Structure 1
Amino acid sequence: MKSIGNLKINKILELMLIISVTTMILISGFVWIITVRIIDMHEAKLFISRSVSIPGNTMHIFIFTVISSICFIVTFSVRSSNRLNGTYIIFVTFIIEFILELICIILLNFNYNGILLWTFANALIYLKKNKYISIVIVAATVSYLFTTHDLVKLFINIYDISAYIRVCSTSLQTVIFFIYNALNLMTVVSFILCCISIIVNKEEIIEKNIELNKQLEIANFDLQKANIELERSLMDNARLAEIRERNRIAREIHDTLGHTLTGLAAGIDACIALAGDEKTPLRNQLDLLSKVSRNGIKDIRMSVSSLRPDAPDRLNLESAIKELVENTKRVAGVNIIFNCEDINLKFDEDEEMAIYRIVQESLTNSIRHGNAKNIEVMVKKNFGSIGLIIHDDGIGCEKIESGFGLRHIRERVNMLKGQVNFRSENGFIVEAMIPIRWGEEYG
């Protein structure tokens, strides 16, 4: 589809072509008509004596000019119809037009060469390769300069259109001279308008390209940022998947082998109680079995601890959040109030880690982006779920856009099958509801 600028330029080229072919046809037709009139009036001898040169067969010149004009219209129509996309084919059409133009100019004895300006303007529009543009521009410029009537008549004898105009009556001479000069002037003016339109169109294209480059740079930056976030998200997901798998194996060991050994140890202790205090071989054997089974339980606990290395020493969820709050208050110098109901529940490590990270990310966003001075963290127990509310007195935001931090909070909540909402009211509020999967209390 053509742009508005190209359509405007194309209209100017059409106007230039109409002016040029009209001028050539009028000149050749006028010379033919006047020549016939001179012959009919038996004034040929007088006219020849006054003229420096005379053309050849004026009727043939007129016919050739008309045919050439039709060729110009056809080649221009094909070129502007978007059916020709090959630069080589377009260049060939220029060569054909250029040869016909030179022939027409010579046959008209250089009384009009404005058609070369039309070719010059066409080359600026349709030729894409610089080498072709340079060839056509140089050829058109040199040809235009060296086909000027006043310059050529210094070297060779050529007729002047004014000699034929003077054959007409005085009143008609004025009209013909006016039309002739007006057509020449219109050719030059339309060429200047075409050049101005080309320059303006090129500037618009450059501005659009600059704007497009800016948009591409922004898109590239956003893409790089998204890739970084994706990498971090993948790493978090991989770590959570690893934690889940290790927890599953730990539970399997604890619930199967651990329980079996615990039952076995209890059974042996019962047998020892029945055996009494007398040191018999049976009692000694039972003491040995009890010791081996308890060592086995210790080994099981060590294996579970190796799968969850932080399990024996880690804080429960409430204590971990309290420690996070105290550290943040000390480092950032903000006032943080932590309210927690009696939540003595034990979650899987991935759940506790996600809840902990949600609180941590919310505190970071409040301090870094909200410039908050006071933050309230509330954790409360609901039926089958726990609720998190982090409310700060920061600057908030008119339009909530999910940046890196908020997207990670939402992803963590979604992984736990929960829900999260963000609101900007007297600061910023993060509300999350996370369903409870495990009801085992901390010991």
Structure 2
Amino acid sequence: MKSIGNLKINTVLETMLVISLAAIILISGFIWIVTQSVVSIHEAKLFLSNAVNVPGNTLHIFIFTVISSICFILTFCIRNSNITNDTRIIFATFALEFVLGLICIILLNFNYNGILLWTFANALIYMKRNKYMPIVVVIAMISYLLTTHELVKLFINVFDISSYIEVCSQSIQTLIYFIYNALNLMTVVCFILCCIIIIVSKEEIIEKNLELNKRLEIANTDLQRTNEELEKSLMDNARLAEIRERNRIAREIHDTLGHTLTGLAAGIDACIALAGDDKPALRNQLDLLSKVSRNGIKDIRMSVSSLRPDAPERLNLKNAIEELVENTKRVAGVNINLDCDTINLKFDEDEEMAIYRIVQESLTNAIRHGKAKNIDVSIKKNYGSINLLICDDGIGCEKIEAGFGLRHIRERVNMLKGQVNFGSDEGFKVEAMIPIRWGEEYD
């Protein structure tokens, strides 16, 4: 589909072509008719005495201008059709038009050279599409200036169309002069209008390019931010995978070696009781073994604690969240009100991790993106579910677009078959409901 600018340019070029072809055909036809009229009334001698110069065979000139006009129409249609985009064909059509136009101007003794303006205007449109177009533009412009009738007659004898117009009656002279001058003026006006449309179209293209560059910069910025968030997410996932593996190893140690040493310590204690006071050497050896096994149990617990460094693994859920809140208040300098009534209930590991991460991510978003100064955290346990509500007094957002943080919250909740909603009426709000199994209390 052609753009509006191209349609306007084509309309002006078509109008300009019609005017130019009408001018050369009317001038050649007028000269031919007047010549025939002068010859028929036997006034050729008088006409020749007043004329500076006369053209050749006026009928041949008229026929040539008609044929040239047909060629101009064909070359224009070839350029504007979608049949070919071959730059060589486009250049060939311009070359043919230029040669035909120059011959017509010479045959008309330079009384009309507007056809070169039409060639010039066409070449301007194709200037950037073909490396030879600037040559055509320069040649057409110089040729137009050098083929001006007033300039040419200073150097060579050329006939003036006024000599032919003066043969006609006074009333017809006025009409012919009007038509002749109007065609010249309209040619120049169409050329100026075509140049203006080309300039405006170029400015529109420049504006579109600037707008496109601006959008590309925004897209690049968004892509860079997305990449950074993706890298952060990958690091968090890697850290989470590492923590899970360490937790698994810790559980294996606790469940195997820890239980074995605990059973061994209990058996040694039973042996000490059975040994009594009759065998002090045996009792002392058993006491030593009992002490070594208990120290081993202590070392295993310390190793398990070091393998499980995350807060939900070191503390029960409530204490872990309280530590998180205190650390955030101290580091970020914000006021956080925590309302938690879970007491000492111990949930499954995936539930505890999900609840802890939701609170952690919500606090981070409220401080980093919302610029909040006050944050309320509410954790309430109902029958079969735990409800979380984190509200802040930050700047909020007009349209909630889930980034990596909000998507992670939603993913964690969905994994536990829960529901989560985000709101931004005043500040920002995260509201989640997580169904849970009944936990048992911590020791």
- SS across alignment from 1:150: helix
Partner of 1:214: 214
Q: Is the 8 A contact 1:343 1:381 kept in 2?
A: no
Corresponding residue for residue 132 of structure 1: 132
Q: With structure 2 as the length reference, what TM-score do the two structures score?
A: 0.87
Tell me, yes or no, if the aligned pair for 2:233 and 2:404 is still in contact at 8 Å. no
How far 1:153 moved relative to its partner? 1.2
Letter of the structure 2 residue corresponding to residue 430 of structure 1 = V
Cα 1:312–1:378 shift into 2, 3 Å: closer
Give the Å deviation of 1:275: 5.6
Equivalences for 1:64-83 in 2 at 5 Å? Answer: 64-83=64-83
In the alignment, is residue 381 of structure 1 matched against residue 381 of structure 2? yes
CA contact (8 A) 1:345 1:440 kept: yes
CA contact (8 A) 2:376 2:391 kept: yes
Runs (5+) with no aligned partner, structure 1: none
Q: C-alpha offsets along residues 364-415 of structure 1, whole Å, 9 cap, x if unaligned?
A: 4445655655432111223444322123345555543435654454455456
C-alpha displacement of 1:277: 5.1
% identity of equivalent residues: 80
1:52 is matched by which residue type in structure 2?
V
Indicate the SS of the match to 1:90. helix
In structure 1, the partner of 2:170 is 170
Hey, what's the Cα distance between the residues in 1 that align with 2:312 and 2:34? 118
Which AA in structure 1 matches 2:316? N
Which segment is superposed worse, 225-234 or 431-440? 431-440
Give the Cα–Cα distance (whole angstroms) in 2 for the partners of residues 149 and 441 of structure 1: 110
Equivalent runs, 1:199-278 vs 2, <5 Å: 199-267=199-267, 269-270=269-270, 273-274=273-274, 278=278
What's 1:420 paired with? Answer: 420
Residues 310/139 of structure 1: CA separation in 2 closer, same or farther (3 Å cut)? closer
Is the contact between residue 244 and residue 350 of structure 1 (CA under 8 Å) also seen in structure 2? Answer: no
**Matched position secondary structure for 1:237:** helix
Deviation for aligned residue 1:193: 1.0
Match for 1:201: what amino acid? Answer: S
State the partner residue of 1:87.
87
CA distance in 1, matches of 2:43, 2:148: 29
Contact 1:395 1:427 survives alignment (8 Å): yes
Distance in structure 2 (CA, Å) of the matches to 1:212 and 1:218:
10
Separation in structure 2 between the aligned mates of residue 385 and residue 256 of structure 1, nearest angstrom: 33
Query: For 1:134-179, what per-residue CA distance to the aligned partner results, in whole angstroms no more than 9, with x for missing partners?
Result: 3122111110011011111111111111222222222222211211
Instruction: Report the 3-state secondary structure (helix = DSSP H, G, I; strand = E; otherwise coil) of the residue aligned with 1:386.
Output: strand
Q: SS of the residue aligned with 2:323?
A: helix
Unaligned runs of 5+ in 2: none
Please tell me the residue identity of whatever aligns with 1:97: E
Provide the rounded CA distance (Å) in 1 between the counterparts of 2:302 and 2:363. 36
2:13 counterpart residue number: 13
CA distance in 1, matches of 2:442, 2:88: 83
Alignment-derived partner of residue 123 in structure 1: 123
Aligned to 1:34: 34
Q: Spell out, residue by residue over 1:13-68, the C-alpha distance to the aligned partner (whole angstroms, 9 max, x if none).
A: 01001111111111112222222223333333332222222212222222221111
Preserved CA contact (<8 Å) 2:5 2:201: yes
Q: 1:272 to 1:433 in 2, by over 3 A?
A: same
TM-score norm. by structure 1 comes to: 0.87
Pair 186,198 (structure 1): closer, same or farther in 2 beyond 3 Å: same
Pairwise CA RMSD: 3.3
The residue aligned with 1:146 is 146
